[in-house]
């Protein structure tokens, strides 16, 4: 990322410039007159602003519309490719990364398998490879990166430290934001993976348009993310969604019903056992079907707690097990109908394994928008 030019920056921060950028981001190419109308600025002031934004590399001229009579008016567009964003999903078994332009359009994706008991250094190296892989795929360099947004397993704090993860023993007491800033000289954002997945479903997935959503992030681990009044609910100390920690809600050990099912063939790797059980239940194996029933019994208790407390419009079954929604969704619905005051819609995720990495990109785009409209949020990058 290029250094900031102080004089330009102070002018860039004028609300006028920011309003112009937002108008262009939302509407696509606009003429000076159209921009002036949308921002309330005079045409000469608008011209000054666009000149300034062009000098900073945020805005460029595009060819005039076809077939315009008389002298064609100049049009301007936001350069979504004036910088890039990376989203990262740090899971127990996989590191995923995606690279997008500033509008969140995904241009490259990578995945790196990693063992849950891998040493810390190995996991960090896999993260670095996943990100540099995205840069190579999209022929960009680390200098073009504006923001890396990370969704991680484990409990985080508001400063982007990982406190602890039940699934990955080495993933604790870690200044993750600091480590990533050492690797990549750009802005780093850290968020809980289930919250980012919930955001992605509410923006691009099955919950699009719903204002209140309970997202079940279920697979080998159990997690939850909440959308309340259209926004991700983080909590006062970034610790929301942790119903798994309440023994009475019966989430923590729920996957054991699937992992320890007698239908799982001997010698199956532990991480594949649950998948075997779900597949066997789909194929009519009564022992596997019983294990799935017991799993859904437990899943429904923690889910009912969230539904009774929040009364959401929709519950989304997401995470790795959402691939088995055909086996899980109806039994879950039946139990919630008995337990809840008002029955929400219950739907399967449409983003599947991509949900966290896509949510991380959406989070980075939102953060950029926030910066554009909150001048004291720190310096804005200058495009190269």
Tell me which residue of 288, 296, 293 sits closest to 262, measured CA to CA: 288
Cβ neighbours, 10 Å, residue 108:
18
Nearer to a copy of itself by C-beta: 253 or 311?
Answer: 311
Residue for token pair 């045409």: 43
Number of residues that this document lists for the chain: 384
E strand map for 229-331: 231-232, 314-318
* 248, burial (CB in 10 Å: exposed 0-12, middle 13-18, buried 19+): exposed
Minimum CB separation of residue 180 from a copy of itself in Å reads 23
Minimum CB separation of residue 212 from a copy of itself in Å reads 5
Tell me the β-bridge partners of 174. 162
Nearer to a copy of itself by C-beta: 192 or 277?
Answer: 192
Minimum CB separation of residue 198 from a copy of itself in Å reads 13
Q: What span, in angstroms and rounded, lies between the C-alpha atoms of 89 and 116?
A: 14
Nearer to a copy of itself by C-beta: 9 or 246?
Answer: 246
Minimum CB separation of residue 346 from a copy of itself in Å reads 13
Q: Radius of gyration (Cα) for the chain, nearest Å?
A: 24
Minimum CB separation of residue 239 from a copy of itself in Å reads 4
Tell me the β-bridge partners of 30. 76
Minimum CB separation of residue 86 from a copy of itself in Å reads 27
Minimum CB separation of residue 267 from a copy of itself in Å reads 37
> Are the beta carbons of 97 and 131 closer than 8 angstroms?
yes
Nearer to a copy of itself by C-beta: 72 or 230?
Answer: 230
Nearer to a copy of itself by C-beta: 229 or 376?
Answer: 229
- The tokens describing 96, both together, are 């995923």
> Are the beta carbons of 118 and 127 closer than 8 angstroms?
no
Nearer to a copy of itself by C-beta: 4 or 340?
Answer: 340
Nearer to a copy of itself by C-beta: 43 or 231?
Answer: 231
Contacts of 382 (CB under 8 A, 6+ apart): 1, 2, 3, 4, 5, 8, 9, 56, 57
Minimum CB separation of residue 94 from a copy of itself in Å reads 25
Minimum CB separation of residue 345 from a copy of itself in Å reads 9
Q: What span, in angstroms and rounded, lies between the C-alpha atoms of 302 and 214?
A: 11
Nearer to a copy of itself by C-beta: 236 or 378?
Answer: 236
Distances (CA, A) of 262 to 100, 256, 321: 44, 12, 19
Applying CB under 8 A, the residues found at the interface with a copy of itself are 155, 211-212, 224, 226, 228-229, 231, 233-243, 245-246, 248-250, 301, 304-306, 308-313, 339-342, 344
DSSP helix, strand, coil percent of the chain (3-state; round to 5): 45, 20, 35
Nearer to a copy of itself by C-beta: 263 or 303?
Answer: 303
Minimum CB separation of residue 108 from a copy of itself in Å reads 34
Nearer to a copy of itself by C-beta: 104 or 151?
Answer: 151
Q: Sheet holding 314-318: strands in order across?
A: 231-232, 222-228, 213-218, 314-318, 345-348
């Amino acid at each position: 990322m290029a250094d900031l030019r102080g004089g330009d920056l102070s002018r860039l921060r004028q609300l006028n410039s920011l309003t112009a950028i937002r108008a262009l981001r939302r509407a696509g190419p606009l003429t000076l007159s159209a921009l002036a109308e949308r921002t309330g600025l005079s045409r000469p002031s608008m011209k000054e602003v666009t000149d300034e934004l062009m000098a900073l590399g945020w805005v460029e001229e595009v060819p005039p519309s076809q077939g315009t009579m008389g002298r064609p008016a100049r049009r301007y567009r936001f350069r979504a490719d004036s910088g890039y964003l990376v989203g990262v999903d740090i899971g127990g078994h996989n590191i995923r990364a995606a690279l997008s332009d500033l509008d969140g359009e995904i241009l490259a994706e990578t995945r790196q398998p990693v063992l849950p008991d891998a040493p810390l250094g190995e996991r960090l190296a896999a993260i670095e490879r996943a990100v540099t892989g995205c840069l190579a795929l999209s022929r960009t360099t680390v200098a073009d990166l504006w923001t890396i947004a990370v969704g991680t397993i484990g409990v985080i704090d508001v400063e982007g430290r990982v406190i602890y993860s039940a699934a990955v023993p080495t993933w604790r007491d870690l200044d993750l934001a600091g480590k990533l800033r050492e690797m990549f000289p750009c802005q780093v954002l850290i968020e809980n993976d289930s919250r980012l997945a919930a955001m992605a479903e509410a923006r691009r997935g099955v919950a699009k348009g719903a204002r209140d959503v309970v997202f079940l992030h279920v697979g080998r681990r159990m997690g939850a993310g909440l959308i309340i009044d259209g926004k991700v609910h983080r909590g006062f100390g970034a610790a929301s969604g942790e119903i798994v920690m309440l023994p009475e809600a019966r989430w923590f050990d729920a996957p054991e019903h699937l992992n320890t099912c007698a239908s799982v063939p001997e010698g199956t790797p532990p991480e594949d056992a649950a998948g075997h059980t779900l597949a066997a239940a789909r194929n009519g194996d009564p022992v596997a079907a019983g294990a799935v029933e017991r799993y859904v019994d437990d899943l429904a208790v923690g889910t009912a707690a969230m539904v009774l407390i929040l009364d959401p419009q929709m519950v989304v079954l997401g995470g790795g097990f959402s691939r088995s929604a055909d086996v899980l969704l109806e039994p879950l619905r039946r139990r919630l109908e008995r337990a809840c005051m008002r029955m929400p819609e219950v739907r399967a995720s449409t983003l599947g394994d991509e949900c966290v990495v896509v949510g991380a990109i959406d989070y980075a785009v939102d953060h950029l928008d926030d910066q554009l409209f909150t001048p004291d949020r720190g310096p804005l990058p200058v495009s190269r």
